[in-house]
Structure 1
Amino acid sequence: MDIKEIQNLIKFVAKSGASEVKLEMEDVKITIKTGTGKTETTIVQAAPMAAMPQAAAPAPVAAAPAAEPAAPAVASNEEDKYIVVKSPIIGTFYRKPAPDKPNFVEVGSDINTGDTVCVIEAMKLFNEIESEVSGKIVKVLVDDSSPVEFDQPLFLVDPS
């Protein structure tokens, strides 16, 4: 991970409103803490081995799409103004509380902090996922009834 990627990650975390993000890959550990107007970054990087980094480099990049979306530079700049609502747990994503009920939110819906945006089923328990930000839903990133992973982006929210 080079310095430009780290700087972009810091900017992304600051805009997302998260208070703390930890990213650990085979050769790098990064902790970014935000709050009270300051951003603290801790970076620990192990000395690279002779042959290992070339073979190990693709795996961490593929495993870290939640931290920084792999998209073209133009699309990335366009989406930088949006906040990502991510899955706090592993499970099955549902957009509505029951099959016969309407979706919690649609593209264009205004949401406030604490509003339920979806449900994630994990081990036969249905967990209501509440928004941590206020704004307007710009994009739904996951199909209904799809499996989701921890920290997977679910929605893009325009905070303005």
Structure 2
Amino acid sequence: MTLTYKDVADIIKIIDASGCEEVIVELANVKIVVRRSSGTTIIPTATPLSPAEPQKYAEKPRHAERQIAPSGPPADINATDGGTIVRSPMTGTFYRAPSPKDPPFVDIGSIVKSGDSLCSIEVMKLFTTIMAETDGQVTRVFAQNAELVQVGQPLFKIEAIRA
């Protein structure tokens, strides 16, 4: 049995929604290890095994870990001045437009209603559209197009429109 990107993405979604600290998925020729750790993000990797390696593999796990330094919010973010900060719900690649040929979902000055598309975040070839949570005007775009964003990282600032 082989795993597709969709299978791995589904596994990661299930893990992300749970309170598990570590999950190990082991098939005949693939082992995926995902661990939570404060201050780091663990990127799971699949390592193919030769038929003679399973016992050796069990004794000495071979998984790749890449630490991603958490990026703190810019110093001038202040939601208490009447604006709403839209934060990333996941770690992934931030895209301002549906495709490279299309215009951005929103720009600074765009008027949005709750439920309007603001951007998309790609994780393992799966795109999640991030929606506005409130009505207002986009006054700030914090992330750059095609930039890696972390969970909780500010993406947009939306301020209520004054009548």
TM (norm. structure 2) is: 0.52
Q: Compute the displacement of 1:155 (Å).
A: 0.5
**Distance (Å, rounded) in 1 between the aligned partners of 2:81 and 2:124:** 34
2:103 equivalent in structure 1: 102
The separation in 1 between residues aligned to 2:83 and 2:96, in whole angstroms, is: 20
Q: 1:153 aligned to 2:158?
A: no
Alpha carbons of structure 1 residues 76 and 88: separation in structure 2 relative to 1, 3 Å: closer
Distance 2:72 2:123 in 1: 22
User: Which has more helix, going by share of residues?
Assistant: 1
CA distance in 2, matches of 1:101, 1:130: 18
The percent identity for this pair of structures is 39
Equivalent-residue separation in structure 1 for 2:89 and 2:130 (angstroms): 8
Correspondences of 1:116-155 after superposition (within 5 Å):
116-155=117-156
List gaps (5 residues or longer) in structure 1.
1-24, 26-61
Q: 1:63 Cα deviation (Å)?
A: 6.3
In 2, the alpha carbon distance for the partners of 1:110 and 1:98 equals 21
Structure 2 unaligned residues grouped into runs of 5+: 1-37, 39-68
Aligned length: 94
Distance 1:70 1:110 in 2: 25
Runs (4+) of structure 1 exceeding 6 A deviation are none
* Equivalences for residues 7-26 of structure 1 within 5 A: none
* Structure-2 residue corresponding to 1:114: 115
For residues 130-158 of structure 1, give each alpha carbon's deviation from its aligned partner in whole angstroms, at most 9, with x where no partner exists. Answer: 11111000010011000000011000111
- Calculate the aligned-residue CA RMSD, in Å: 2.5
Q: Distance in 2 between matches of 1:155 and 1:80?
A: 14
Deviations 1:104-126 (A, max 9, x none): 00000000000010000011101
Contact preservation (8 Å) 2:71, 2:150: no
**What SS does the aligned partner of 2:86 have?**
strand
**Structure 1 pair 159/63, CA: closer, same or farther in 2 (3 Å)?**
same
Change (3 A) 1:90 1:76: closer
* The structure with more radius of gyration: 2
1:21-48 CA-partner distances (Å, limit 9, x unpaired): xxxx9xxxxxxxxxxxxxxxxxxxxxxx
After superposition, give the CA deviation of every residue in 1:7-28 in whole Å (9 maximum; x if it has no partner). Answer: xxxxxxxxxxxxxxxxxx9xxx
State the shift of 1:90 in Å. 0.7
TM-score normalised per structure 1 = 0.53
Aligned partner of 2:112: which letter?
I
